Structure 1
């Protein structure tokens, strides 16, 4: 008789692949929810319920997830998983694959503390499984209430939680670590939406514009240049704010003077993010080439809101390769110590 597979691992793998494919949230929740419900059962009860046909009596377990569990217990790769795996391959050219392999971590990711869908530890474990050395946790700042932005009090609490999780990784002998961070709103006057005291405690600060995206070019330019001069900011996130596809619809690029903005980034040694989210792919290639010609550094990030989305880095790598961005201009090709030395030099 075939050896049983781990049904919880199979359910989580299905959820991961659905997230990577940017499938509907309800599909992901069905598999992550089933895995969470089954994880609470005493040892042996999953198999007992499966044999009796009683898996679906559990809240959170439906017909599809139950069928996957039964197939796993029978030693078979679930059909649902096999179909996803067969279509999940990312065929990368040699240059893109090499750049992806050079990335040590991801500097922009969210958890369920703001508008992400998974706990911090799940995001971190997924990053470690992808081979990352570090993941920068960058939940939103307080002004972005629609994304449950973190108040100063909640951010301080999160820092303690990250310390505890990292201690657990160290206890397991893992070299992986979570770096503390934030995606802080760049406010209308160019200031940053969090206290200087807390920003100074963070390892990496990503600053993004989320409001008044239709400001006139001169206004937006001044706003971004002011933010880049702030010693606490390290990376300028999704600089045009555009949306090119996806459930939120499309959105035109914000208008600003790229020469002035990218010159400020070079002057203060800040990085321009190459955002890998399929609906953003920001900046556009024409602006990416301008930033490269002006001497900017870059950070290739996923802006992930779920574990599977952490595997979107090849999207950004492909754009960097297409525009001729060399690996030594990308800050997250550095190991954690090098990245932290770079960000510390800004303060």
Structure 2
């Protein structure tokens, strides 16, 4: 596939591989920016700049990206792309059952764009989802309280709904589902207006603050959220990080699980029809296997999501499928194996 890529395609493929490998966003953005610049050139201009070696005169193209463009324009596999394909592209094949479950997934219900703390525009996220074979992708940018993640005010969310409506007309039959990852506040309420939550296709409710709260308090908070008629998915329920985020001194500190009565919360999920998310991010892998197995025993439904913040991360669903099969999750209990009409008929809207 790589040897037939256009210069812009080669740059995007590099970005995809770097994102999937959890490389820092600043490394990735240079390739996506260069891809946009090159895609805007006509063939004659591109050919002239390659011949005269003036690609780097264009804002957004540096020495490394210019080399990729030049090699791809000549019909070669760019050397940097070839190294990344060898280093990152060959993933271990999924076991039969996990592979079957992965093939059954029709979409992803948890993803972020550059409207909050994601690294790419909505269109790029959607186009990558299409390339991966998805039928739909829920756009779940953060809610207002999470200011560190540029959470969406009601006014910004209203504007995003208009953008998504326009893209859906263009990308049909693929569908971007309107959504939000809404903060579960300390009192268990959701961090967005009821009117807006009622207009969205998918609401993922997650705890992002006071993660070390006492067990009883955290349980009451989560129960209130999963029983809220707007909540469709309980996101990364323990809040743990098995691979810590990088600190200023360069160290990486894991984050322990929040403490809550899992049986009570999962029973409430089963009773209210709120799906328990199987979060596929390598640093989360949440819930832990023992809790995931317990949620299966208590009759919960599930959503296998990537929590992607960049296009390449949409390819992380393998992680969740492997854990789901290990813990006895059946495909019929995974809500994003369902066609979009059936999925939305089962949400709380």
Give the TM interval when normalised to the shorter protein.
over 0.9
Aligned to 1:275: 279
CA distance in 2, matches of 1:5, 1:201: 40
Aligned to 1:14: 14
CA distance in 2, matches of 1:141, 1:5: 38
CA distance in 2, matches of 1:4, 1:314: 27
Aligned-partner SS, 2:178: strand
Between 217-226 and 52-61, the greater mean CA deviation after superposition: 52-61
The offset of 1:41, in angstroms, is: 3.0
Q: Is the 8 A contact 2:244 2:255 kept in 1?
A: no
Aligned to 1:58: 58
Aligned to 2:309: 305
Aligned to 2:250: none
Aligned to 2:328: 324
Aligned to 2:37: 37
CA offset digits 1:52-79 (Å, max 9, x no partner):
1111222221222111111111111111
Aligned to 2:178: 180
| Match status 1:99 vs 2:97 | no
The offset of 1:254, in angstroms, is: 0.4
TM-score by length of 1: 0.95
Aligned to 1:118: 120
Which of 171, 180, 191 is matched with 2:189 structurally? 191
Aligned-partner SS, 2:231: coil
Unpaired runs of 5+ residues, structure 2, are 247-252
Q: Is the 8 A contact 2:212 2:259 kept in 1?
A: yes
Between 76-85 and 144-153, the greater mean CA deviation after superposition: 76-85
Q: Is the 8 A contact 1:4 1:74 kept in 2?
A: no
Q: Is the 8 A contact 2:7 2:38 kept in 1?
A: no
Q: Is the 8 A contact 1:5 1:76 kept in 2?
A: no
Aligned-partner SS, 1:81: helix
The offset of 1:99, in angstroms, is: 0.7
Which of 304, 315, 319 is matched with 2:319 structurally? 315
CA distance in 2, matches of 1:112, 1:31: 16
The offset of 1:246, in angstroms, is: 4.4
CA distance in 1, matches of 2:58, 2:154: 39
CA distance in 2, matches of 1:43, 1:180: 37
Matches within 5 A, 1:224-263: 224-248=222-246, 249-263=253-267
The offset of 1:39, in angstroms, is: 2.7
The offset of 1:210, in angstroms, is: 0.4
Unpaired runs of 5+ residues, structure 1, are none
Aligned to 1:201: 199
CA distance in 2, matches of 1:131, 1:4: 20
Which of 138, 141, 144 is matched with 2:143 structurally? 141
TM-score by length of 2: 0.95
CA distance in 2, matches of 1:265, 1:211: 21
Inter-CA distance 16–246: structure 2 relative to 1 (3 Å threshold): farther
CA RMSD of aligned residues (A): 1.3
Between 85-94 and 19-28, the greater mean CA deviation after superposition: 85-94
The offset of 1:38, in angstroms, is: 2.1
The offset of 1:37, in angstroms, is: 2.3
Inter-CA distance 4–255: structure 2 relative to 1 (3 Å threshold): closer
Aligned to 1:152: 154
Aligned-partner SS, 2:254: coil
CA offset digits 1:154-202 (Å, max 9, x no partner):
11111111100001123xxxx2110111000000110100011000000
CA distance in 1, matches of 2:156, 2:164: 12
Aligned to 2:130: 128
Between 30-39 and 5-14, the greater mean CA deviation after superposition: 30-39
The offset of 1:85, in angstroms, is: 1.8
